[in-house]
Amino acid sequence: MRILAFASQKGGSGKTTLAGHIAVQAELAGAGPVVLVDTDPQGSLSDWWNERRASEPAFARISVTRLAFDLEQLRAQGFKLAVIDTPPAITVAIQSVVAVAELVVVPTRPSPHDLRAAGSTVEIVERADKPLVFVVNGATHGARITSEAAVALSQHGTVAPVTIHNRDDFASSMIDGRTVMELEGAANSAEEIRSLWQYLEMRMEKSFRRTIFQPQHHHSGLHAAPTHRSSFGRLYTERF
């Protein structure tokens, strides 16, 4: 099971919206079965999921203290991808999610305040030695600050080549448990999500291959990269 985490210690970055959209797109693209995992006490993702009429993706509300244990149960149930939403400004929770993630996505709006706030999330991901991808989210078409934000972020990590623009259809789709891929007249937004998922899937595949096929060194003081092992547990996929 691949584990994709959305993390940002800045509230309003669009983590929940992107997590829901990417999970749905992954299902549509045949990468499922997909399970959404909500570790945010506010429960915004679970609220959205409970409004959905579609049964996919599945949903799991997991306690951070049992995160690794519960993820193993989801893996045993046959899920191929877990998309995890995280709370803002709760460092311990974000650290726990990052520790088990295969790839960490950091949505960042193109504003000076959001760019400054991204640094603390980057530090957590770097300490865990996990791959990170910034996604410029909520951008305005043609605004110079969008390209400036991408340049600024690129100094601290990889920036996704897909920008998610600020459109009303993202918010309106989330009201009743849908995504822009499930709305009429939202072709531009839907194409951005499709392109973003294709990129993230490619990044996860590269990360997986590096993990599996990384050469092992046993001489000259060189050591193999540490293997992250954890015990895993309880399944929550029922509606509330």
Span 194-240, pLDDT tens digits: 999 999 999 998 876 655 444 444 443 433 433 333 332 333 343 33
Is residue 142 situated within a structural domain?
Answer: yes
Q: Does the structure show a pLDDT above 90 at 154?
A: yes
Task: State the angle between helix axes of 187-213 and 15-28 in degrees (0 to 180), rounded to the nearest 10.
Answer: 80
Structure-token pair, residue 19: 């997590």
Question: Is 157 part of any domain?
Answer: yes
Assess if residue 222 is contained within a domain.
Answer: no
- Residue 161 DSSP code: S
Domain count, the chain: 1
**Cα–Cα distance for residue pair 103/132, rounded to 1 Å:** 6
Task: Decide if 219 is inside a domain.
Answer: no
For residue 218, tell me if it sits in a domain.
Answer: no
pLDDT at position 124 over 60: yes
**Structure confidence at residue 110 as a pLDDT band (50, 70, 90):** very high
On whether residue 136 sits in a domain, the answer given is yes
In a domain, 231, yes or no: no
The model's pTM is 0.84
- Determine the structural domain holding residue 41 and report its residue range: 2-211
Q: What dihedral angle (degrees, nearest 10) is formed by the CA atoms of 13, 14, 15, 21? A: -160
- pLDDT tens by residue, 34-58: 999 998 888 899 999 999 999 899 9
Long-range CB contacts for residues 47-55, cutoff 8 Å, separation at least 24: 48/16, 48/20, 48/174, 48/177, 49/20, 49/177, 50/177, 50/239, 50/240, 51/175, 51/176, 51/177, 52/177, 52/178, 53/177, 54/24, 54/177, 54/182
Between residues 197 and 63, the one the model is more confident about: 197
Q: What is the CATH number of the domain that holds 42?
A: 3.40.50.300
Using CB atoms within 10 Å of the CB of residue 217, give its burial: 0 to 12 exposed, 13 to 18 middle, 19+ buried: exposed
In a domain, 239, yes or no: no
